Amino acid sequence: MGGANRVVLDANVLVRLVAPGDLREQALALWDRVLLGIEPCVAPSFCSAEVISSFRQMGRGGHLTAEREEQAVDEFVSGIQPVLISVESPVLTRLAWEIARDLIERHTYDSVYLAAARAFGMEFWTADQRLLRQLAGRFPEARFLGDFPLPPPAP
């Protein structure tokens, strides 16, 4: 990964920053690069709603206590959301629709992230292996969070 890249992070990556789950270490390592300004982070304007919806689902599903769910929301809105560069435009909307159509998707949520990555020449990081399989290499911008390199352990 180069120096001044911008990245698009899927909501499922942002959720892992404050909620327990697999690939959390990779999400935190990637986020460290964002906080250092090495990888400014771009997200669709609806991303925050998608993240807090995930916290709500985790709370209702018993994966987070009510207290931990509220804490996750607070951590997101105070420490993560302000760092995100929100993007939305008619050009991105149209491109997202075209991508969803080409992928034969019913919904366009994932396609908006892909459209931003493609339009701005950014990497798109996701933990969604189903999405990556569906892309079948058609989006070289797409990266699996599990492949993000972890820093070496401290001596």
Q: What confidence tens digit (pLDDT) does each residue in 106-125 have? A: 899 999 999 999 999 999 99
Ramachandran class of 37: left when φ > 0, alpha when ψ lies in -120 to 50, beta otherwise = left
d(CA 9, CA 42): 7
Query: Do residues 123 and 112 make contact, with C-beta atoms less than 8 angstroms apart?
Result: no
pLDDT at 130: 92
Which residues sit opposite 3 in a β-bridge? none
37-59 pLDDT, tens digit each: 877 899 999 999 999 999 999 99
H or E element that contains 17: none
Give the pair of three-digit tokens for residue 30: 């990637």
Query: Do residues 41 and 34 make contact, with C-beta atoms less than 8 angstroms apart?
Result: yes
Short-list 7, 5, 96, 4, CA closest to 46: 96
- Among the ranges given (38-47, 70-79, 121-130), the one the predictor scored with the smallest mean pLDDT: 38-47
Q: Is the pLDDT of residue 140 over 80?
A: yes
Which residues sit opposite 36 in a β-bridge? none
Stronger pLDDT, 60 or 4, i.e. the higher one: 60
d(CA 39, CA 108): 25
- The structure tokens 């159509």 sit at 101
Q: Is the pLDDT of residue 155 over 90?
A: no
pLDDT at 75: 96
The band of 128, judged by pLDDT with boundaries at 50, 70 and 90, is very high
Q: Is the pLDDT of residue 103 over 60?
A: yes
Q: Is the pLDDT of residue 6 over 90?
A: no
Short-list 64, 74, 79, 70, CA closest to 28: 79
d(CA 117, CA 54): 22
Query: Do residues 45 and 90 make contact, with C-beta atoms less than 8 angstroms apart?
Result: no
Q: Is the pLDDT of residue 3 over 50?
A: no
Which residues sit opposite 141 in a β-bridge? none
Whole-model pTM over 0.75 = yes
